[in-house]
Every structure is written in C-alpha cells, then in structure tokens.
Amino acid sequence: MSDKQIDPVRAATSRIGLAVQHGDPEQIANAYRQLHVARILRAANNALHGEYAITQEQRNDLALFFLNGGQA
C-alpha cells in the first residue's frame, strides 16, 4: 500500500464520474455535495496554514460564520 495521500477534490470528482455512469440522480447530487465540501475544506486549510495564513480574529469570524449556518 502506498503512503501517498489521495487528493479529496480529485477523489470527489472521480465519484461524480462514477455516479453519472450509474445514472442515479441522488448519487450524482451526493457526489457533487462531496465535491463542494472537499473544495471548502481545501480552501479553509490553505487559509489557516498557507503562506498568508489568516489572523486569529479572521479565524474567529470564519468560525462564527459556520456556527451560524453560513449566515454572515
């Protein structure tokens, strides 16, 4: 087994392709939702740990945004 980690965005994109092949609308919708989550997690990780990491105040604002169900 490889120690290489699979990119969650690429994995989610692959799941969309598989779902489309199977033709189940609910499976396709779930695959797209998984892709959205993977992209958000990637962006959040980059924001928190990237070269220009956000400040603690910005982290608090982001946490509040999610705790409020995405309402600014």
20-34 tens-digit pLDDT: 999 999 999 999 999
| Euclidean distance between CA atoms 24 and 22, whole angstroms | 6
Contacts of 71 (CB under 8 A, 6+ apart): 65
- Which tens digit of pLDDT belongs to each residue from 43-70? 999 999 999 999 999 999 999 999 999 8
Residue 69 phi, psi (nearest 5): 70, 25
